[in-house]
Amino acid sequence: MVAVACNYLECFMSNQFSLLKTRRFLPIFITQLLGALNDNTFKQALIILFTFHAASVMNLQPTILNNLAAGLFILPYFLFSSTAGQIADKYEKSKLTQYIKIFEIFIMSLVTIAFFTNTFWLFMVALFGMGTHATFFGPIKYSILPQLLTRDEIVGGNGLFETGTSFATLAGMILGGTIMTI
Angle ∠(93,149,85) on CA atoms, nearest 5:
35
Q: What are the pLDDT digits (tens) for 7-33?
A: 544 544 556 888 888 888 999 899 999
End-to-end CA distance of the chain: 55
At 34 the pLDDT is: 93
DSSP secondary structure letter of residue 52: I
Distance of CA 132 to the CA centre of its chain: 11
Is 136:100 a contact under the CB 8 Å cutoff? yes
| Whole-prediction pTM | 0.79
In 3D space, the residue among 109, 127, 133, 110 whose CA is nearest the CA of residue 31 turns out to be 133
